[in-house]
Structure 1
Amino acid sequence: MLKVNDINVYYGNIQALKGVSLEINQGEIVTLIGANGAGKSTLLKSISGLLKPKQGDILYEGVSIAGKPAQTVVKRGISHVPEGRRVFANMSVEENLELGAFLRNDKAGIQADFEKVFQLFPRLKERSKQQAGTLSGGEQQMLAMGRALMARPKLLLLDEPSMGLAPILVKTIFDIIKQINKDGTTILLVEQNANMALSVAHRAYVIETGRVVLSGTAEELNASDQVKMAYLGGH
């Protein structure tokens, strides 16, 4: 479904990604594990059109999307839930969700997806008229995910969904991630909580200082001493 081929991405003179390659098959949850500043968010932004790779290519369903504007990428079926939620604070929950469907004009389908999002996140239904800025961190995370789903993506990019959330909410968010995947959406997940990420993912890549240093099935990485030492709190 998605193939990232040897991309190099820079911020000014600083190289953030150094020849990164990975692939995602339809129906998978693939996770990226790595320390802060390893290049995980940069990779998601490169896929979703917020950053343009200097070299290399990104193929989605066989077509290059590298350097294409973000709205084109969304139209093709990729939604990005950015790190830090980024909800529109002065707009209501409902208006935030409507914005997620901005590029669509199938009224009945949009209405059906509203219902679907409210089923996944009952809390958002209760708060539909509330300003997004007044929601708790966990509710804002739900809203950011709901908004991305309103575009009806085939591939969902999730950047640090558990960041700053209480442990009980983290479990809820991960249960929902599994449900979204079960309903047919392919997911690329960036997550600091490597234990949680590997518990839901099919495959994983480890990124260190802009390079992929390890990849394999979630089971393989869970069992890897290198991963245990660095990310899973093993000794």
Structure 2
Amino acid sequence: MLLDVKDLHVSYGAIRALRGISCQIREGEIVALIGANGAGKSTTLRTISGLIRPKSGEITYQGQSLIKMPPHQIVNLGISQVPEGRRVFTRMTVMENLEMGAYTRKDKAKVKEDIKKIFQRFPRLEERKNQLAGTLSGGEQQMLAMGRALMSKPKLLLLDEPSMGLAPMLVQEIFAIIKEINQAGTTILLVEQNAHMALSISNRAYVLETGEVVLSGDAQELANNPEVKKAYLGE
């Protein structure tokens, strides 16, 4: 098991955001977390990446506990997050953003090689490599946020709402890229409001409601589940 989350409880003051969430991710999978706004999806990702401390529960990655580990050490272990809302460094160029993604790495020659690979995957970023990130379109910023996360050479990529605010054509493109990244060997945990798209590319999925897992299983089976269709797929 690459990542094992067991009985995770997180509170913001008096508000219980996560109420005993458990989920597992095997190497090579795309696993989706779907659910309405406020279900606890982003909180789950932020807790895995060390940005939020849980009240109780356990998170193990390749058998190692992440619970008391600071975020930069979690990145060093091979977990990288693409945050909701992209959060690129707007006053830095595209190139500088990508270099920031590799800040934990010492292998400078390999970093240059990996930037080339990012440009092959995202040709638009190469065209705009000297442009300030704040001047990019929403779709380009999403590509940059993904490229920046990949620069840390993650084994596990946490994607938080990658399609948010994007035009339908771009959503298709971003999801095609997510599949490519996975096929190239990166395991993905995907949080996504667009349940239809998320289930279409995932191996398995968990359905969250008010901080709890209410359904889980094979992504295609969940896509055909009448409850999921009604609640999340608008069918």
User: RMSD value over aligned CA atoms?
Assistant: 0.5
1 CA distance for matches of 2:122 and 2:16? 39
Match of 1:67 in 2: 68
1 CA distance for matches of 2:67 and 2:35? 23
Match of 1:227 in 2: 228
Match of 1:147 in 2: 148
Q: Secondary structure at the match of 1:72?
A: helix
Q: Secondary structure at the match of 2:53?
A: coil
Q: Is the 8 A contact 1:53 1:67 kept in 2?
A: no
Aligned length: 234
Q: Secondary structure at the match of 1:213?
A: strand
2 CA distance for matches of 1:183 and 1:116? 12
How far is the alpha carbon of 1:112 from its aligned partner? 1.4
Q: Runs (4+) of structure 1 moved beyond 6 Å?
A: none
Q: Is the 8 A contact 1:46 1:67 kept in 2?
A: no
TM-score where L is the length of structure 1: 0.99
* Partner amino acid, structure 1, of 2:140: E
User: Deviation string for 1:44-73 (max 9, x for gaps)?
Assistant: 000000001110000000010013110010
* Partner amino acid, structure 1, of 2:37: N
* Partner amino acid, structure 2, of 1:214: L
1 CA distance for matches of 2:229 and 2:195? 9
How far is the alpha carbon of 1:107 from its aligned partner? 1.3
TM-score where L is the length of structure 2: 0.99
Q: Secondary structure at the match of 2:111?
A: helix
Match of 1:110 in 2: 111
* Partner amino acid, structure 2, of 1:129: N
1 CA distance for matches of 2:139 and 2:60? 33
Match of 1:22 in 2: 23
Match of 1:204 in 2: 205
2 CA distance for matches of 1:16 and 1:64? 21
How far is the alpha carbon of 1:213 from its aligned partner? 0.3
* Partner amino acid, structure 2, of 1:89: T
* Partner amino acid, structure 2, of 1:47: I
Q: 1:26-65 counterparts in 2 under 5 A?
A: 26-65=27-66
Q: Secondary structure at the match of 1:16?
A: strand
2 CA distance for matches of 1:102 and 1:32? 29
* Partner amino acid, structure 2, of 1:173: I
Q: Secondary structure at the match of 1:188?
A: strand
1 CA distance for matches of 2:68 and 2:206? 23
1 CA distance for matches of 2:120 and 2:227? 40
**1:166 counterpart = 2:167:** yes
Q: Is the 8 A contact 1:17 1:210 kept in 2?
A: yes
How far is the alpha carbon of 1:34 from its aligned partner? 0.4
Match of 2:189 in 1: 188
Q: Is the 8 A contact 1:118 1:124 kept in 2?
A: yes
How far is the alpha carbon of 1:109 from its aligned partner? 1.4
How far is the alpha carbon of 1:78 from its aligned partner? 0.2
2 CA distance for matches of 1:116 and 1:199? 26
